[in-house]
Structure formats: C-alpha cells, structure tokens
Amino acid sequence: MVAVELPRYTSFKTLADGSTGYYWTCPTRYRKRNCPYLSAALGVNLSQKELNASAELWNERLNGWLKEQSPMDTPDTTRYGTVEWLVNTYLKHDAFLERVSEFSRPDYRRVLDRVCATEIIRDDIGLKARIGDAKIANITVSTATKIYEILHGQSARTGEKVVTYCKAMWKRMKPHHPDLFRQDTPNPWEGVTLKKRTKKVKGHVERATVYAFADGAVALGRPELAAAAVLAFEFLMRPSSIGAGYAAWSGYRGESEPDKIIIGHRKTDERAMHPLEYIDADGSLKLLYADAERILKQVPKNGLSIVCQRNGNLFGDGTRLSQEVTDIANKLADKGTPVRGFTLDKARHGGMTELEERGLTEGQGRALSKHRTSGAYRGYAKDTEKRVLEATKKRFGHSERAEKVNEFSTEKKAK
C-alpha cells in the first residue's frame, strides 16, 4: 500500500480482500450535539488526491454545520453591502432558515462560499476581483453570467445550484434591504441562461426484483438491508432518510396507530402514515402490505430504527448503507438471482413508477410520496412500456376504466 496522509477525521482499515478502505467519522462531541453528519465510507484504495477530495466534502459540511450552531457566529457587517455580507446575513435570516431544512443548509453554505471566492476580470480596470468583496448593486446580469460560467466549467450541477441559490437569495433579501440592490435589474440571476445538458435518468426496478433482493438478503443474514429495500420501494423513502433512522420501530404498528406504519421524510420534514390494513365490505380484514410485513417481521430489533447496524448504530449520511446493499446484490447475482445493479435509489424510483402504472392520480401519488410540488413528483415515474400501453388502450377505449368513462358519458348524454 502506498503511504498516504490521513486528512482530518478520517481513518482506514484493511478489508477482507486485502484492499484498504477509507472512512470519515464525525467526532463524538459533535454527534452528541445532534450533528446530521455521522460517518461516510470514502472509498477503497484511494490515492492521496482522491482521499483529500472525498474527505474535504464531509469536512466542509461539518464546518458549515458548526458555523450555524455557534452562538458567536454573527453576520459579517464589517463590509456592509457586499456579496459576502449578503451571504452571511441570508444564511442567518428567517427567509432562509424557515425555507431550507437543516440537512440541506450546509450545501447552501458550500455553494455560496464558492460564489464569494470566485474571481473575475473587472472590465474597468482589467484586474481580477473577488466576488465576495463586490457591492451587491454591482452584480449585473453579465456579472452573474460570468460567475455561472466559471463555476459551471468546474461542475455543471454546481453551476445550476449557483443560479438557483443566488436567485432565491436576491429575491428573499431585497425586501429587507431594498437600498442595497439594483433598481434597474431587480434580480440579475433571472437573466442567466443555463446551458443545456443531458441529465442522467436514474434507473428503476420492479416489485419482483425488490423482493428477490429482500428474500436473498434475509437468506444471507442481512435482514436490515432487506427492510431498507422494502422501505424504499413500498413507502417511497429516500436512502438518506432510511440511513438516518427515519423509520423507527415505534412507528410500525405502534400503540397509537396499530394498523399503520409511520415514517419520516428527512428532506421535506414530512411525516407519512401508511395504512397497513382495512376492513372489507364483507367484514374481512385485508392486509395491504403482506409481503413487506413478511420481511419486516424477520428483522431483529437491534436499535430504535428498523434499519440499523447490528450494534444499534445508524448507517448515517455516508454511502455505507448503499455500498452494503450493492455488495449483497452482487453476491446474489453471482448465485443467479437477477438483482445485478440493484440500489435503494432504483427501488424508490420503481415504487414511484408503480404508482403511475397503477393509474393513481397525481394527488393520490403525492399523498403517498409526500412530495410538496408537482414538479418534484413528476420527475420520478419512468415512461415504461406498460404506462405507454395503458395510455394507448385508454385512448382507444380498450381499458376497463376508459369503457366506464365512455359508458357514463353516453348515459349522461341520453338523459
């Protein structure tokens, strides 16, 4: 192994196959203060450069969180009216804190700090100037475009975040400090034209694949990973919510709601109550998630969360949960189970796609997924062959639902 210098809060261990795995772990003193970032697997056999880059991401997130928690961290008013002053003021203002969840706030700090650190050539003097030192009123559409193009060149996704975050910051802070903003261009970020890019479409898996993985994971002694797959597919949980413990045993057929499972969505702070059964018209009890409950009943209660490590600790915010799911999927695939490439993301996207294939309305789908906006909801369901076929059958009146609609319409006309 080539010797490397370990960045702050990182460690390593030799894995079973002889390779070296690197990890980032949040210090205990910050864990006790409920830091949202607990641990992360950084990768295997990393070079010094790769290790530094991976660790820097998590250390930046920790630093951002610490800045928010410190009572001494007050907005910088020494350069009143500059972009950097605006950023520091915005991140402490209710206009930001009431709209952005705690988990997402460090990302805003990271992106907006990069905006402040960006240097551009000033047209008037021909020298480089730091954006953070510029007056808010000096940011024109052309300046905003230059900032976007520079950061877009480093990362297309970061460039898009720059425009989104800055546009919101200008919009929400101008009413509080109207004299500091340009009057001729209310929001210069509105004039930035984003470059087109082909966004990678995430894959999805069907119900049969999810339960093939779940049953296989149970057989290999990893029922907690089977539960993670079920929670992602059936109850549409994000992997980050699963790893952070937002599905607790107390919410599964608990004393207050014995016929439901209650889960949380970390990103949106939404609480979802999914009924597990109902009484049919003939008085018989109908189980809605029989397969899911079959898996959950095989999961040992090692901790407060349904999905946790054997020692009771959560998997946390890193990639450990996803990596272990991938490892089990590969082992099952090697034995002939068709789950190669299975991920929790694909399971969740598969669940969202199933909602559309079953003909749920957008309102019904959002009631289950807890998406706040139509735009966020619509991006998940995939245009599968089944959806196209059902749409075509309805178009020509060959589906049961279409026939009922036509029948109703005919009766109404006759009346």
**405: pLDDT strictly greater than 50:** no
Predicted pLDDT of residue 29? 81
Are 41 and 118 part of one and the same domain? no
Q: How far apart are CA 345 and CA 341, in angstroms?
A: 11
Out of 44-53, 64-73, 388-397, least confident range: 64-73
**4: pLDDT strictly greater than 90:** no
Is residue 121 situated within a structural domain? yes
**Confidence grade of residue 3 (pLDDT, cut at 50, 70, 90):** low
Out of 15-24, 58-67, 171-180, 269-278, least confident range: 58-67
The pLDDT of 136-165, averaged and rounded, is: 93
Is residue 271 situated within a structural domain? yes
| Boundaries of domain holding 273 | 207-382
Is residue 295 situated within a structural domain? yes
Predicted pLDDT of residue 395? 67
Between 210 and 364, name the one with better pLDDT. 210
Are 268 and 221 part of one and the same domain? yes
**23: pLDDT strictly greater than 80:** yes
Are 230 and 130 part of one and the same domain? no
Q: What is the pTM of this model?
A: 0.65
Are 20 and 114 part of one and the same domain? no
Q: In this predicted model, what pLDDT tens digit does every residue of 106-126 receive, in sequence order?
A: 899 999 999 999 998 876 656
Q: For position 372, which CATH number holds?
A: 1.10.443.10
Is residue 171 situated within a structural domain? yes
Are 28 and 64 part of one and the same domain? yes
Q: How many other C-beta atoms are found inside a 10 Å radius of the C-beta of residue 82?
A: 21
Predicted pLDDT of residue 253? 94
Is residue 390 situated within a structural domain? no
**57: pLDDT strictly greater than 70:** yes
Residue in 339, 197, 351 with CA at minimum distance from that of residue 289 = 351
Instruction: Tally the domains of the chain.
Output: 3
Predicted pLDDT of residue 306? 96
Q: In this predicted model, what pLDDT tens digit does every residue of 198-209 receive, in sequence order?
A: 777 778 999 999
Predicted pLDDT of residue 390? 73
**Confidence grade of residue 414 (pLDDT, cut at 50, 70, 90):** very low
Between 174 and 197, name the one with better pLDDT. 174
**159: pLDDT strictly greater than 90:** yes
Is residue 409 situated within a structural domain? no
Q: 45 is written with which tokens?
A: 């056999």
Are 290 and 365 part of one and the same domain? yes
Q: In this predicted model, what pLDDT tens digit does every residue of 323-380 receive, in sequence order?
A: 999 999 999 999 999 999 999 999 999 998 898 888 888 888 888 888 877 777 776 7
Predicted pLDDT of residue 34? 82
Are 364 and 224 part of one and the same domain? yes
Cα 201–chain centre separation: 15
Q: In this predicted model, what pLDDT tens digit does every residue of 343-356 receive, in sequence order?
A: 999 999 999 889 88
Q: In this predicted model, what pLDDT tens digit does every residue of 250-266 receive, in sequence order?
A: 999 999 899 999 999 88
Q: In this predicted model, what pLDDT tens digit does every residue of 270-305 receive, in sequence order?
A: 889 999 999 988 889 999 999 999 999 999 999 999
Out of 32-36, 154-158, 289-293, least confident range: 32-36
Looking at residue 226, its amino acid is A
Q: How far apart are CA 138 and CA 225, in angstroms?
A: 53
The pLDDT of 151-173, averaged and rounded, is: 94
Q: How far apart are CA 407 and CA 312, in angstroms?
A: 57
Are 339 and 274 part of one and the same domain? yes
Instruction: Please compute, for residue 143, the number of CA atoms within 13 A of its CA located in the half-sphere on the CB side.
Output: 27
Are 164 and 302 part of one and the same domain? no
Are 62 and 152 part of one and the same domain? no
Are 177 and 214 part of one and the same domain? no
Are 250 and 361 part of one and the same domain? yes
Is residue 105 situated within a structural domain? yes
Considering the chain, what is the average pLDDT of its residues? Answer: 86
- Three-state DSSP string of the chain: CCCCCCCCCEEEEECCCCCEEEEEECCHHHHCCCCCCCEEEEEECCCHHHHHHHHHHHHHHHHHHHHHHCCCCCCCCCCCCEHHHHHHHHCCCHHHHCCCCCCCHHHHHHHHHHHHHCEEECCCCCCEEEHHHCEHHHCCHHHHHHHHHHHHHHCHHHHHHHHHHHHHHHHHHCCCCHHHCCCCCCCHHHHCCCCCCCCCCCCCCCHHHHHHHHHHHHHCCCHHHHHHHHHHHHCCCCHHHHHCCCCEHHHECCCCCCCEEEEEECCCCEEEEEECEEECCCCCEEECCHHHHHHHCCCCCCCCECCCCCCCCCCCCCCHHHHHHHHHHHHHHHCCCCCCCCCHHHHHHHHHHHHHHCCCCHHHHHHHHCCCCHHHHHCCCCCCHHHHHHHHHHHCCCCHHHHHHHHHHHHHHHC
Spell out the residues 6+ positions from residue 372 whose beta carbon is closer than 8 angstroms to its own: 268, 270
Is residue 393 situated within a structural domain? no
Cα angle 371, 372, 376; round to 5: 60
